[in-house]
Amino acid sequence: MKKTSTRLADGRELIYYDLRDDTVRDAADRRPLERTHTTSEIRRDELLGDSVAVASHRQGRTYHPPADECPLCPTRGDRLSEIPDSSYDVVVFENRFPSLAGDSGRCEVVCFTSDHDASFAGLTVEQARLVLDAWTDRTSELSHLPSVEQVFCFENRGAEIGVTLGHPHGQIYAYPFTTPRTALMLRSLAAHKEVTGGENLFDAVLERELAGGRVVLEGEHWVAFVPYAAHWPYEVHLYPKRRVPDLLALDEPARTEFPQVYLELLRRFDRIFGEGEPPTPYIAAWHQAPFGALEEFEGVTRDDFALHLELFTIRRTSGKLKFLAGSESGMSVFINDVPPERAAERLREVASS
């Protein structure tokens, strides 16, 4: 992998990740952009104990442009975009309309390929590995920023999810706090460790799932399963079999196998609802241990956390979405219409031929 860092016309950082070591990236951003001004602010909810990012400047972000005006495609002739070069393998750049900025963290866009009509599932193993390397590199770099406590790599895919740009891409959020979802895991981890005299909860869950009937696919170093208490109709968790706290700690065998397992999982997601259905909308979310202090989670260290990816779709059956209505949105109590065992069975049925 070759990494080349440059600056866009308004001062934002852009980084090329290339498969070839002899690739030269010296194209300049020719757009007449002014410096970006953001209004990102973190507000604490005293009753719930969580935080909300208020970012009014995002109201003006690009919304469903035609394909020939996509800002994530490479620059071609006089059609200027966020990527100055005429081609790329993987690109990461600071979001022009970030939810988090400055002392409130940082937001980046990850473009998986220059092909506008592709998808992550359509990448080659080599391309998917390059994305993994980019996620890992950005996790390392962002973790050293003084305002950052947790790094979150994710992909939103599909208009049903709320994606405003059709080009295959994901995002990275660098939060200035430990997110509420992660804090819940850490509290459960601490409680289980105390009750069992030191047993790791992630290890216990993984051991149970490996012995159960909800495993979707398994490799030498990774296993994907539908969790016992899945919140979403089709939800899969992907774990490395050797517990590590973050992407940085994955060893080379796990890195080598990951693209094969993950690409197969995504392709199965696209076949869940049968032939002729539009691509399955999904969210793919990496859970990594925070880099900040963990004193409030007594007895827990970073090494107790287990890196894993959560993949789920909001589609519950052909042509129907799972809406977060009263119970889910008002009380955070999910009601799942698809038994996890049946979801796992379906995902095994649609294995690649």
Catalytic residue ranges: 169
Question: Contact at 8 Å (CB) between 177 and 150?
Answer: yes
The CA distance from 203 to 209, in Å, is 10
- Residue 336: other Cβ atoms inside 10 A: 16
Question: Contact at 8 Å (CB) between 284 and 309?
Answer: yes
Question: What b/e sequence results for 77-101 when a residue is b if at least 16 CB atoms lie within 10 Å of its CB, and e otherwise?
Answer: eeebbbbbbeebbbbbbbbbbbbbb
User: What DSSP line would sit under 42-110, residue for residue?
Assistant: EEE-TTT--EEEE-GGGGGS--S--GGG-TTSBPBTTB--SB-SS--SEEEEE-SS-SS-GGG-EEEEE
Residue 41, H or E segment: strand 41-44
Kindly tell me the sign of the dihedral angle through the C-alpha atoms of 227, 229, 234, 237: negative
The interaxial angle of helices 252-269 and 125-143, nearest 10 deg, is 120
What Å distances lie between residue 134 and 30, 91, 166, 347, CA to CA? 25, 8, 21, 28
